[in-house]
Structures are given as structure tokens and as C-alpha cells.
Structure 1
Amino acid sequence: MKHEHGFTLIEVLAAIVLLSLILLGVYSGIHSATRIVHGGEERIGRMDEVRSTAQFVQREVAQALALPFAVTDDGDGIVFDGQPDSARFVAPLPGYLGRTGAQIMTLQLVRDNNSNRLQVTFSPLPPDGSPPAPPGDPEILLAGVNSGTFAYQGYDDQGNPGPWVDRWPDGRRLPAMIALRMKLAGSVNSPEIIAPLRIDPTSVNGRNPLGNLPRRPSVLR
């Protein structure tokens, strides 16, 4: 008689183990590929957020107007307030943002849990010179900022660019340029955002809105 032999238990177990290892390798490869794709998408999305933030800051700072939104103790108009963590000025906004006319804009770095966020608030500039209304709810431009600071540059008496300072010394005049330096959480690096003003920092449409100020570049003292 011919005897038919099947697989032994050890052979079956060895085949199951081998198949499990193959399936585990395939799953690990698919999981790694998926993680890489998702990580790439998150990185691209983060870079788009940084790029959009830079474009917004540069566009709005470039349109800053030398219009006073407050007064000093001496009665001089304040057209710019530059601090290490915030910058306040007046600028027009595009219509698609749902706001029209000159707006008091405040860019500010605010602590948010374990990091910071860059946000902006708006308040319409009253045309009759009355006190402005409190700003509306903040709009977040960029979250996940480990650290950041604003810096400002003006001109010296000879019209040459002065040093960068972390506080703007003369609120009666606009700076020539604003810089925003940030360190972001994660692997995306934030370039230094440099935003120059397009107009003469002491005039608007060829005239000085503050009669007691000379028409010349701002001076750092």
C-alpha cells in the first residue's frame, strides 16, 4: 500500500510564522509610506501658513498710513506703536476681508498654552477724531510659535538706515521697515519677515497729517 503523508504540525506552524513575518513587513512598509506622505502634507501645509502670514504682514505694513490713532501727553498724534511683541498702526484693508476704510491694526504675539501665536485685531479709525472702539475678536495668523519678536528700523539724520531696535522710539513717525523674527515649533523654519513701508514715513499723499512734524525720514535717537 502507498501511504499519503501530510504536513506535520511543526511545518504548519513554521509556515504560519513565515507568512506572519511577510505580512508584518508589508504592513510596516505601508505604514511608513503613509506616515511619510502625511508628514509631507503637514509640512507643505505649514509652509503655506508661513508663506500666507508673511504675505499678509508685508502687504498690510506696506500700506501703513501716517494717521494718528491716539495722542501723547503733549497732544501730539501717535501714528505707530512698536513694541517687542506687538506693532500697531493704521492701514486700509482689502474689501474681501469684510471691512472697509482705515483700520487700526495690531499685530501681536500672544502666549497660547505651551507656545505663542501671531494674531491680528482690527478697529475702525473714526473719521471724526473720536476715540476708536475696542478692537474686535482676534484673528489667528500663525500658531505654534516657540518664540518671536518684532524689530524696527528708521533713518538717521543723514538719511541712512539706522540700527534695528526692538522698540520704536518715536510714535509720531512711522518706521522705514518692520521685521518679524520667529522660531516655529516643528521642522519648518520661518524666514525673517521684512516688511518695508511704501510711503514717506512722515507723510500721506504728499502732505503731513500732523502739522507739527517735518516732512523727512524718521530719526532714531
Structure 2
Amino acid sequence: MSNRRRQTGFSLLEVLLAITLLAILLAGAMSGIRAATRAMHAGEQNIERTNRLRVAQEFIRRELSRSLPLAFGQEHGSGANFVFQGENDFLRFVAPMPGHLSRGGPYVQTLELARGRNGLQLVFTHNMLNGFDLDKLKPDDGTPVLLLDGIRRGRFEYRKLDDRNELEDWKQDWENPSMLPVMVRIDLEMTAESGLIWPTMEIPLILDTSGGVRLFQQRLPQNGRGGSSDSSSSGATEKQ
């Protein structure tokens, strides 16, 4: 009788119950692993987006704060030099690029709020100032770089000094392209899906624009423009 009890194994019901409990434990473990994996990926994506925003802000602040009073074109009719162009969704200026991104010399740089798939995009383009021709500029010229997307709305604003050297109010259009503004403000509102918050940037710029005018006048003969004015001025000098 005792030998029969030792040889008796588990019943089918006991085996099924053990398998069921094991499956439940494995399912719970896999669910926890998947949840942990999703949380890890979400955290990595949030870190990546935050780093991208931080890098974009640092890059924009660096380039705008180093704006040079160099002219990159002339207005037809008045002959005014273009040193800085600014609108509520577009701005263009001249500044040196970081060493690892440039081939030397100043660059004509643009920031633009363009329409994208997930709202607005902050797009950056750059062209070397040497050989830059504003009249022949095409929409696909330069190397477009997407700095940031997932923008619900945004605007660029500009500030200058009045006749008493006091700061005026912010304006969404820069009225005098022949000089640099005192400050540039970039205000963006991100979409809820992006999970980002853009701290408003207020960036001070260089004020003196006389150097840009002189440099542009020196560049005119090299670009094949303004030769007649140079010859006329030299002829007037000879007559004197």
C-alpha cells in the first residue's frame, strides 16, 4: 500500500493548475518588462527632445549675438544696404558659423518659421557672404537645417533705441534693414504632442553698422556691380 502511494504522481488537474499559475506569472512579468521598456523609451525621447531644444536655443543665441554689421545686398531705388532683414516669421543676418560647420569667413544666415507636418518648423539656412547675391537667391539655395518642429505658433520681434537712446517697444517687423536691431526676441508656443516648453529668448545684438556699409562698398566692384560709380568717383577725383 505504501509503495503505491510513493509511485502516485500529480494528477492532470494539478498539472493544469501549475501551468496556469506559471502562465499568469510569466504574463505579469512580461507586462512589467514591456511597461518598463516603454517608460525607458519615452524617457529617452523626452531627453532627446529637450536636448534638441536646448541645442537649438544655444545655437540661435550664439549666432544672433555674434551678428556682424556687414551688408549682404542693396535695396533697389534707394540704394540702402541690407544689414538685417526681420519679419514676424523670418529674419536674415550675417555672422560667423562655428568652426566645424564653416569654410571660413562670415555667412548670411536665415531663421524662418515654415509650415511642416506637425505644425510649424524652425528652419535655418546659411550661405557664404563671399559671392552671395540677394537678387539671384532661390528658395532652395543654402543648406536647410531643421532646428525644431512641433511648433503651434511663433513670432520674431525686434527692438531698437529711439532718439534719446531709450529702448522702444517690441515690433514684429524690422523697419530699417541698413542697421542691426538692439535686441531680437523669439517667442514660440509648442504643441501639446511635442511635450516641450520654449522659454522666450531675448538676445542682444551688436549696434555699430558703419563697418558693414564700408565693406559692402568695397565688395561692389568684385561682384560686377557699382563699377560705374567707382569710375565716376575716380574721375571726379582726377578732375579735382
TM over 0.5: yes
* Cα displacement (A) at 1:53: 0.7
Q: Distance in 1 between the 2:133 and 2:32 partners?
A: 66
Contact kept in structure 1, 2:84 and 2:179, CA below 8 Å: yes
Partner residue in 2 for 1:55: 58
Partner residue in 2 for 1:175: 181
Q: How does 1:178-189 map to 2 (within 5 A)?
A: 178-185=184-191, 186-189=194-197
Deviations 1:17-72 (A, max 9, x none): 22222111111111111222221111111111111111111111111122222223
Partner residue in 1 for 2:144: 138
Q: 1:125 to 1:98 in 2, by over 3 A?
A: closer
Superposition TM-score, scaled by structure 1 size: 0.81
2:19 corresponds to 1:13: no
Higher-Rg structure is: 2
Look up the SS of the partner of 1:136 in the other structure: coil
Contact kept in structure 2, 1:57 and 1:195, CA below 8 Å: no
What amino acid does structure 2 have at the position aligned with 1:192?
T
Q: 1:130 to 1:136 in 2, by over 3 A?
A: closer
Identity %: 37
Superposition TM-score, scaled by structure 2 size: 0.76
Structure 1 runs not aligned, ≥5 long: 211-221
Contact kept in structure 1, 2:52 and 2:148, CA below 8 Å: yes
* Cα displacement (A) at 1:194: 2.3
Partner residue in 2 for 1:115: 119
Q: Distance in 2 between the 1:183 and 1:191 partners?
A: 9
Deviations 1:62-119 (A, max 9, x none): 1112222222331111211111111111112233113321221111111122322212
Aligned partner (choices 24, 29, 40) of residue 26 of structure 1 = 29
Q: Distance in 1 between the 2:171 and 2:86 partners?
A: 10
Pick the structure with more helix per residue: 2
Contact kept in structure 2, 1:124 and 1:133, CA below 8 Å: no
